[in-house]
Amino acid sequence: MKKCPLHEFCGGCDYQGIPYPQQLKMKQERVNSLLSEFGKVSSIIACEDPYNYRNKAQFSFGYDEKGKIISGYNMSGSHRIVPVDECMLVNEGINKIYSSVKRIIISNHISVYDERRSKGCLRHVLIRSTSLGEYMVVLVTASAFLMKKEKIVNDILKYNPEVKTIIHNINEGKTSAVLGKRNIILYGKGYITDELCGMRFRISPSSFYQVNRIQTSILYEKAIEAAEMNKYDTLIDAYCGTGTITLSASGYVKKAIGIEANHFAVKDAEINKKINDAGNCEFVCEDAGRYVDLLAKRKTHIDIVIMDPPRGGSDERFLSSVMKMGPEKIIYISCNPVTLKRDLHVLKKHYDISIIQPVDMFPFTEHVETVCCLYHQKKDFISVPYEPENGDYLKQLK
Ligand SMILES: C[S@@+](CC[C@H](N)C(=O)[O-])C[C@H]1O[C@@H](n2cnc3c(N)ncnc32)[C@H](O)[C@@H]1O
């Protein structure tokens, strides 16, 4: 078993030093203890290779006590930077680009951010990669000024021709969030493209995208299989990110509607719809609870809801509106079994829970993904196809 020399300091890997089969056992027990009250929990789906699985990493830059530039991960629960040369969870291409960017920053004497004095330029470097061998580098600065911009871009490209786009992100806030709101493209198109589940997806810096590609395909496959869709169904994919699930499911249904609050992700989803020629998909940039509430008030018929909320889970408005709408099936994909348990307690008033499938997306961390399938207790369901008069679903709701 590989062991990271930094595991005692970094805090990124909760399960360092624990053999992978033991990690799986711990995750299985955690999901069992939280969710077995709702039904049988299936065996966790393991990662074939638990190392170098991440397609995204973000490194912080700062100074040590002697004023020397350091870079690495923020120590968990603090703003202290643990110097990191390479990380065994991220893919090798990212590790290579990270060392190169670090050398470029140091050799060009770029000032980095001193958090105590709120002074300096470079705060973080975020690197993303895709299965098509494309890499994105995002340079996050504390103000709109990026020192020696052209020289940095030229050097990154000279030593890393696999980098397809370089972005300058401005994060002026006193915050632990890595990215600020403004992105300026310094090189390339401002996005990279991945291939997932036989489709192509454009990913821009501020959009959510799953970090473990192989396990994501398995997770989506399980969710789509559990939904047992048919060509008369209208489906909602709530918290849809760049539309990966909406588009993967769209071939099985009459209509698929993705709902997402982040406008960068919705823009990606709209383009992903075009790239994949999925004319039966629509994307809405809106709070999922607010939008589903609107649909419920208009008595819109929805057959299936797939929901994949962030770690905090869903909210009262979303859950009560979904129950009011009463889709036949709900597929709940969760990255946090604690909030999943809380939300299942609400949904179980009207739904029976038939599948609880944990999937290990994040080896060496305590995180675990779970897919649940819920069936409406009303047994006399007739699937009624939704036929908007002018074919434009969204106009009907405005
Ligand atoms: C766990 S990600 C899932 C994304 C997508 N399903 C995927 O697999 O890539 C959760 C997504 O929910 C979005 N989100 C968070 N709160 C939201 C809300 N209240 N309404 C709609 N979307 C929200 C986030 O921006 C993020 O893209």
Whichever domain contains 119, its CATH number is 2.40.50.1070
State the virtual CA torsion across 145, 165, 250, 309 in degrees, nearest 10.
Answer: -40
Name which residue sits closest to atom 2 of ligand 1, judged by CA: 310
Known active-site residue 335: yes
CATH code (residue 249): 3.40.50.150
Structural domain that includes position 165: 56-196
Residue 42's Cβ-side half-sphere holds a number of Cα atoms within 13 Å equal to: 17
Indicate the helix (H) or strand (E) that contains 185: strand 182-187
Residue with the two structure tokens 């779970």: 370
User: Residue 212, exposed/middle/buried by CB under 10 A (0-12, 13-18, 19+)?
Assistant: buried
Q: Are residues 220 and 150 in the same domain?
A: no
Q: Are residues 239 and 372 in the same domain?
A: yes
Which of 196, 229, 250 terminates a domain? The answer is 196
Q: Are residues 24 and 151 in the same domain?
A: no
**Cα 127 to ligand 1 centre (Å):** 21
Pocket probe mutation, ligand 1, options 56, 219, 221, 239, max atoms within 8 Å of Cβ: 239
pTM: 0.93
**Cα 243 to ligand 1 centre (Å):** 10
Q: Are residues 253 and 304 in the same domain?
A: yes
Which of 169, 196, 223 terminates a domain? The answer is 196
Name which residue sits closest to atom 1 of ligand 1, judged by CA: 310
Atom of ligand 1 nearest to the CA of 287: 20
**Cα 280 to ligand 1 centre (Å):** 21
DSSP helix/strand/coil, 309: coil
Q: Is the distance from CB of 282 to CB of 240 less than 8 angstroms?
A: no
Pocket probe mutation, ligand 1, options 197, 224, 237, 240, max atoms within 8 Å of Cβ: 240
**78: in domain:** yes
Query: Does residue 308 line the site of ligand 1, with CB under 6 A?
Result: yes
Q: Are residues 116 and 246 in the same domain?
A: no
Query: Does residue 98 line the site of ligand 1, with CB under 6 A?
Result: no
Residue 21 tokens read as 């089969």
Task: Give the span between the Cα atoms of 124 and 370, in whole angstroms.
Answer: 31
Task: Give the span between the Cα atoms of 183 and 359, in whole angstroms.
Answer: 33
pLDDT at site 12: 77
Q: Are residues 321 and 340 in the same domain?
A: yes
Query: Does residue 239 line the site of ligand 1, with CB under 6 A?
Result: yes
Q: Are residues 240 and 361 in the same domain?
A: yes
pLDDT at site 102: 97
Query: What single-letter amino acid sits at 160?
Result: N
Query: Does residue 241 line the site of ligand 1, with CB under 6 A?
Result: yes
Distance, CA of 390 to chain centre: 34
Name which residue sits closest to atom 12 of ligand 1, judged by CA: 239
**204: in domain:** no
Q: Are residues 81 and 171 in the same domain?
A: yes
Atom of ligand 1 nearest to the CA of 216: 8
Q: Are residues 74 and 27 in the same domain?
A: no
Which of 146, 166, 196 terminates a domain? The answer is 196
pLDDT at site 395: 53
**303: in domain:** yes
**3: in domain:** no
**Cα 103 to ligand 1 centre (Å):** 35
How many domains, the chain? 2
**192: in domain:** yes
**120: in domain:** yes
Q: Are residues 216 and 337 in the same domain?
A: yes
Query: Does residue 369 line the site of ligand 1, with CB under 6 A?
Result: no
Q: Is the distance from CB of 75 to CB of 82 less than 8 angstroms?
A: yes
The values of phi and psi at residue 364, to 5°, are 70, 5
Residue 344 tokens read as 């299942």
Hey, which residues does 257 pair with through a beta bridge? 236, 282
Q: Are residues 39 and 64 in the same domain?
A: no
pLDDT tens, N- to C-terminus, the chain (398 residues): 777 877 777 777 888 889 999 999 999 999 999 999 999 999 999 999 999 999 999 999 999 989 899 999 987 667 789 999 999 999 999 999 999 999 999 999 999 998 888 889 999 999 999 999 999 999 999 999 999 999 999 999 999 999 999 999 999 988 889 999 999 999 999 999 999 999 999 999 999 999 999 999 999 999 999 999 999 999 999 999 999 999 999 999 999 999 999 999 999 999 999 999 999 999 999 999 999 999 999 999 999 999 999 999 999 999 999 999 999 999 999 999 999 999 999 999 999 999 999 999 999 999 999 999 999 998 555 544 444 444 444 555 54
**201: in domain:** no
Hey, which residues does 104 pair with through a beta bridge? none
**Cα 85 to ligand 1 centre (Å):** 31
Task: Give the span between the Cα atoms of 245 and 55, in whole angstroms.
Answer: 18
Q: Are strands 304-307 and 351-359 parallel, antiparallel or unpaired?
A: unpaired
Query: Does residue 292 line the site of ligand 1, with CB under 6 A?
Result: no
* Signed CA dihedral, 23, 25, 29, 31: sign only: positive
Q: Are residues 363 and 259 in the same domain?
A: yes
**203: in domain:** no
Residue ranges in the chain assigned as alpha helix (H): 7-10, 20-35, 92-107, 149-159, 213-227, 244-250, 263-275, 288-297, 316-325, 337-347, 393-397
Query: Does residue 219 line the site of ligand 1, with CB under 6 A?
Result: no
47, 335, 372, 373: which one is catalytic?
Answer: 335
Query: Does residue 265 line the site of ligand 1, with CB under 6 A?
Result: yes
